[in-house]
């Protein structure tokens, strides 16, 4: 699947359904159950490798898992891969070199974290044929500065996030992930943009939703507030995935209990 096909679903007022994915087997299962976006997230550092943060993840890891997911998806889903910490922050040229490696591995788009400071890199990438998903709110790669806390509660920070979102769109970003921000702020950002927003802990007003697969399957010892165990009471993983897809498409997830 390519970006125009994905955006057409949004134009048809369909909610986008995304999940993290790290291997070929789950890629096939997610595609078979109508998941639109397979996010090869640097969250693999925590849920696959056992680290406390995403920071130890390297480009070789992201390429390896992107290749596996691409083989499993076999062109039937949109593959979004995170640029890992240290692979893009230094300069737009370095960001392009890293992104090119991930596209060659099978990604359809790359994701990077950060607001105004990333505008130049987003413009550089998109001008050279690299689709970009931006990421605002809680930034896992900045955990040493912010911790794992919701963002955007302070009016000044909220206003900055609104400005950053507009700037990233103007620079060429085609998608925007909003993580752990108040639902009312996510609605303001979403309503002010032409590009789709994908929420995770950002309330029900985004154009789509994403979860970490292991959270959905009830495998996380202390899941985040915004997660829901769709495996509870399900007859198997396929049923849990179908429950999630249906809940997102119908606007039943996330609920107030999953929002800030």
| Structure confidence by residue, pLDDT tens digits, 194-204 | 999 999 999 99
pLDDT at 200: 98
Whether the Cβ atoms of residue 43 and residue 54 lie closer than 8 Å to each other: yes
pLDDT at 259 over 90: no
Residue 115 neighbours by CB distance under 10 Å: 18
Give percent of the chain above pLDDT 70. 100
Collect all residues with Cβ–Cβ distance below 8 Å to 198 and sequence separation of at least 6.
16, 18, 37, 133, 175, 176, 177, 178, 206, 207, 208, 209, 210
pLDDT at 240 over 90: yes
| Structure confidence by residue, pLDDT tens digits, 112-160 | 999 999 999 999 999 999 999 999 999 999 999 999 999 999 999 999 9
pLDDT at 173 over 90: yes
pLDDT at 1: 86
What is the H or E stretch that residue 156 is in? helix 155-171
pLDDT at 36: 97
For residue 111, CA distances in Å to 38, 102, 184 come to 12, 11, 24
Average pLDDT over residues 209-230: 95
pLDDT at 202: 97
User: 35, 5, 132, 129: which is closest to 81 by C-alpha?
Assistant: 132
| Structure confidence by residue, pLDDT tens digits, 59-108 | 999 999 999 999 999 999 999 999 999 999 999 999 999 999 999 999 99
Q: What is the mean pLDDT of the chain?
A: 97
So which residues are the catalytic ones?
A: 179
- Helix, strand and coil content of the chain, in percent to the nearest 5, comes to 45, 15, 40
- For the question of whether the overall pTM of this predicted structure is more than 0.95, the answer is yes
What is the rounded distance in angstroms from the CA atom of residue 126 to the CA atom of residue 128? 5
* Domain extent listing, the chain: 3-258
Say which CATH topology domain 3-258 has. Answer: TIM Barrel (3.20.20)
Tokens 């179908």 locate to 242
Instruction: Tell me how far apart the terminal alpha carbons of the chain are, to the nearest angstrom.
Output: 33
């Amino acid at each position: 699947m390519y970006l125009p096909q994905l955006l057409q679903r949004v134009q048809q007022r369909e909610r986008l359904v995304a999940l993290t994915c790290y291997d070929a087997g789950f890629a096939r299962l997610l595609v078979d159950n109508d998941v639109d976006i397979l996010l090869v997230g640097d969250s693999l550092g925590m849920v696959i490798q056992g680290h406390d943060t995403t920071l130890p993840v390297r480009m070789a890891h992201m390429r390896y898992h992107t290749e596996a997911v691409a083989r499993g998806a076999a062109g039937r889903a949109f593959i979004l891969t995170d640029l890992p910490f240290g692979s893009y922050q230094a300069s737009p040229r370095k960001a392009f070199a890293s992104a090119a490696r991930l596209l060659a591995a099978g990604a359809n788009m790359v994701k990077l974290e950060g607001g105004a400071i990333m505008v130049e890199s987003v413009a550089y990438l998109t001008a050279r044929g690299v689709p970009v998903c931006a990421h605002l709110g809680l930034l896992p790669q900045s955990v040493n500065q912010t911790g794992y806390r919701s963002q955007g509660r302070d009016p000044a920070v909220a206003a900055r996030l609104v400005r950053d979102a507009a700037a990233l769109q103007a620079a060429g970003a085609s998608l925007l992930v909003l993580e752990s921000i108040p639902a009312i702020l996510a609605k303001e950002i979403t309503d002010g943009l032409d590009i789709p927003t994908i929420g995770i802990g950002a309330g029900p007003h985004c154009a789509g939703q994403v979860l970490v697969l292991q959270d959905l399957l009830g495998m996380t010892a202390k899941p985040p507030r915004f997660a829901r165990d769709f495996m509870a009471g399900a007859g198997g993983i396929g049923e849990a995935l179908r429950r999630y897809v249906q809940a997102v498409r119908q606007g039943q997830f996330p609920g107030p209990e999953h929002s800030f």
